[in-house]
Structure 1
Amino acid sequence: MEIWPAIDLRHGRCVRLQQGDYDRETVFGEDPAAMARRWVVAGARRLHLVDLDAARGDDPAENLAAVRAILQAVDVPCQLGGGVRSDETIDELLAMGLSRLVVGSAALKRPEWFAAMCDAHPGRLAAGIDAREGMVATDGWLETSTTPAITLARDLRQRSENIAAIIYTDIAKDGMLQGPNLAGLKEMAAATDIPLVASGGVTTIDDVQALVDAQMPAAIIGRALYEGHLDLPEVLEVAGESVD
């Protein structure tokens, strides 16, 4: 199972939110590039970056500078989500050297456009499906749609064969250190053949083992690493990603 340590960016700093609430922010570092090096030195083979400012339409300039610094600091694939809503943004971010982009709100609101972008950039765009009680949330999780997450996943697969992955986040679990929603993840995994990346709630090594046992292809881990609930080398070993 692939492990993606998360680096969430707000105003150029490394932070974590609880359930996507911008008023419940914890700052974990002023230097995201140093944080990226920390995870790579610990064995990470890839990193998941989130631009929290761009996700809700704020100025992303500080975070883009941080992303550039991360890309210069480490030599592992990095994917970025947050505010990816236009052809120009996709072209700019991929040109920076990011390996993959995560498209959230626009995949729901403009599925034809998203499918066209996936076809234009095969294997470089993932759908970020964030769910609140099974319904897709958008705009930095500030809005909840009436579209079931599974319906969106199936619709996107019908539109394009070139979607790299689905990053599936249960908002109720995100940043809460209460374990992942295994039932929801299994339901999503069964709904489509798009590779699934589990996100939200992974807290203990038993959680990691449960995802491995459920044959999840990948998982994003954030707060539990920052607060020391999980040790990245141990996580990588359980996931089968430890360095020989």
Structure 2
Amino acid sequence: MLVIPAIDLKDGRCVRLYQGDYSQETVYGEDPVSQIRAFAEAGAEKIHIVDLSGAREGRPVHFELVVEMARAVRVPVEVGGGIRDLATIEAYLSAGVFQVILGTVACRAPELVREAARAFPGRILVSLDVRGERVAVSGWTEAENLSYLELAQRLEEAGVAGIIFTEIERDGTGEGVYTGRLERLLEVVSLPVTLAGGVARLEDILRLKPLEKRGLSGVIVGRALYEGTLDLREALRAAR
């Protein structure tokens, strides 16, 4: 099980939002390139980047910065936020990003997800962002009348490489993980699933570790690393 540090970008800085609320922002750094290097030097095997500004605007806002970050390390980088067409997907992958993460288009343009999965096998992930039982889109600002389990099954049929599962109510809160919805997701798909949101301390990593046998391939961690309630090196050892 991978422990994947997260870097969220807004206005060129490293930030975290509370429950996806753009008005509740904490800035953790002014130099995202230095931050990604620090995570790589600590032993991260993969790094997660989200263009928060892009997610809200529906287009890549930090494309050049993301590419600079990806090229600054030898660790595979995945990026999401505002990626809504094949041209953007190809641009990121050609520039050195390992995998791209689709979100809103998984609900609103499922044919694009299928086309991308065929064109770039193994390199298309989908972010399944959930508020309650429903899927949220457009930077978590809008809700779809669609069950997350139903969408997950559609994504598996579309041939994506994996799912990133976020419970919005827990994201950025440090409240710890809740596995109920995650376990239901693992029951209905055979895709690799990565959990995002809620991890606060080493005990959360240890609690999630047994789910690796059921398809949990990784956990994304953000605020806990920046605030020091979780040490990345310790988390990596525990996950291995």
Please give the range of the TM-score, normalised by the shorter of the 2 chains.
over 0.9
| 2:129 paired with 1:130 | yes
Distance in 2 (alpha carbons) for counterparts of 1:217 and 1:60? 27
Contact 1:47 1:77 in 2 (8 A): yes
Name the amino acid aligned to 1:112.
E
2:196 matched to 1:199?
yes
Q: CA RMSD in A?
A: 1.1
Could you tell me which residue of structure 1 aligns to residue 11 of structure 2?
Answer: 11
| Mapping 1:1-244, distance limit 5 Å | 1-57=1-57, 60-61=60-61, 63-158=62-157, 160-161=158-159, 163-215=160-212, 216-240=216-240
C-alpha displacement of 1:181: 2.2
2:65 & 2:26 partners in 1: Cα distance?
A: 18
Please tell me whether the aligned partners of residues 176 and 198 of structure 2 are also in contact (alpha carbons under 8 angstroms).
yes
CA displacement, residues 178-237 of structure 1 (integer Å, 9 cap, x when unaligned): 112211111111110111000100111110011102222111000000000000000000
**SS state at 1:26 partner:** strand
Deviation at 1:122, TM superposition (A): 0.4
| 2:226 aligned partner, one-letter code | Y
| Per-residue deviation, 1:44 | 0.7
**TM-score, normalised with respect to structure 2:** 0.96
Partners of 1:223 and 1:147 lie apart in 2 by 29
Gaps of 5+ in 2: none
Output the CA distance in 2 between the equivalents of 1:143 and 1:99: 28
Percent pairwise identity: 40
Query: Aligned letter for 1:208?
Result: I
For structure 1, the residue ranges without an aligned partner over 5 or more in a row are: none
Query: Alpha-carbon deviation of 1:103?
Result: 0.3
Q: Deviations over 1:18-58 (max 9, x none)?
A: 11111000111110010001111111111000000110116
CA displacement, residues 59-99 of structure 1 (integer Å, 9 cap, x when unaligned)? 744x2232122122211100001111001111111111100
Shift of 1:4: 0.9
Q: Secondary structure at the match of 1:214?
A: helix
What secondary structure does 2:57 align onto?
coil
8 Å contact kept, 2:54–2:60: yes
Amino acid at match of 2:211: A
Runs of 4+ in 1 over 3 A off after TM superposition: 58-61
Q: Match for 1:188: what amino acid?
A: L
In 1: Cα distance, 2:49 partner to 2:207 partner: 24
Amino acid at match of 2:199: V
Tell me by how many angstroms 1:134 deviates: 1.4
